[in-house]
Amino acid sequence: MVEAARQGRGVLRYARPARRALREVRLPVVRPLIGVVYAVTQVWAILWHFVATVLYREPMFRYRCRRVGRRLTLEGAPPLIIGNGRIEVGDDVQVGSPCTWDVGPDAELIIGNRVSLNYRGVISVRDSVQIGDDTLVAGEAAIFDNTNHPVSPARRLAREAPSPAEVGPVVIGRNVWIGLRCTIMRGVVIGDNSVVAAGAVVTKSVPPNTVVAGNPAVVIKHLGDD
């Protein structure tokens, strides 16, 4: 039947023209009606987000943290928090969705005031990660204070945790801007007011008031007060 349709014979020869005709069908846009429908859907989305945040998302997030400051903003679902380490969040913090925070036992994640952590961010902590006030972390950024897996092939095959030598605290200063898809590795200190360009992989500490870029990241510019 299919072969006959290809040759323009049989009932199925009408299938392709019918499919094309159906793809051309469009409902007329009655603007007042569509405007009402659009407004209703927007109001419903806002109400649903508010109710979900107040009744479920924020209480669950606060339950997993040692301290959460005032005026927290969750843009969607709360971060997926793995582990039972100490998490402290300051005032006016904004958290995108989805995010994943892996905070191991006896580890600490300290987030300052007015920090923005954008969507699909990953933070892995085995010792300490501190993020200073007014810092902006763009989407899909990853912060690791550990190698996540041992470098040793034998230890990695045995599914062992990273050794103490493979763990180092990360300190991100005040008013730092970390760009899209950046990776911050263990033992790094990023100085105040610095900028980490999009896609950079930071393996060494960054001086204050500088712009770093590349893999591995290097200083490309010094910032003034303007």
- For residue 129, count CB atoms less than 10 angstroms from its CB and return exposed for 0-12, middle for 13-18, buried for 19 or more: buried
Counting residues of the chain whose pLDDT is more than 90, the rounded percentage is: 85
Confidence at residue 105, expressed as pLDDT on a 0 to 100 scale: 93
Residues 70-79: contacts with CB within 8 Å, 24+ apart? 75/119, 76/49
pLDDT digits (tens, 9 = 90+) for 124-154: 999 999 999 999 999 999 999 999 999 999 9
Least confident of 10-19, 93-102, 207-216: 10-19
> What's the CA gap between 18 and 11, in Å, rounded?
12
For the chain, give the mean pLDDT. Answer: 93
Residues 187-191: contacts with CB within 8 Å, 24+ apart? 187/145
* Residue 207 one-letter amino acid: P
Positive or negative, the CA dihedral 200, 173, 175, 102 is positive
Higher pLDDT, 4 or 50: 50
Please check the confidence at residue 188 and state whether its pLDDT lies above 70.
yes
Confidence at residue 153, expressed as pLDDT on a 0 to 100 scale: 94
Nearest of 210, 151, 217 to residue 184 by alpha carbon: 217
pLDDT digits (tens, 9 = 90+) for 161-176: 999 999 999 999 999 9
Confidence at residue 144, expressed as pLDDT on a 0 to 100 scale: 98
Task: Cite the active site residues.
Answer: 149
Confidence at residue 184, expressed as pLDDT on a 0 to 100 scale: 98
> What's the CA gap between 1 and 4, in Å, rounded?
5
Task: pLDDT band for 1, please (50, 70, 90 cuts).
Answer: low
Confidence at residue 21, expressed as pLDDT on a 0 to 100 scale: 87
Where are the CATH 2.160.10.10 domain residues in the chain?
69-222
What's the predicted TM-score (pTM) here? 0.84
Task: pLDDT band for 79, please (50, 70, 90 cuts).
Answer: very high
Q: Which CATH number fits domain 69-222: 2.160.10.10, 2.60.40.420, 2.60.120.10, 2.60.40.10?
A: 2.160.10.10
Q: What is the H or E stretch that residue 2 is in?
A: helix 2-6
Nearest of 55, 68, 145, 138 to residue 101 by alpha carbon: 145
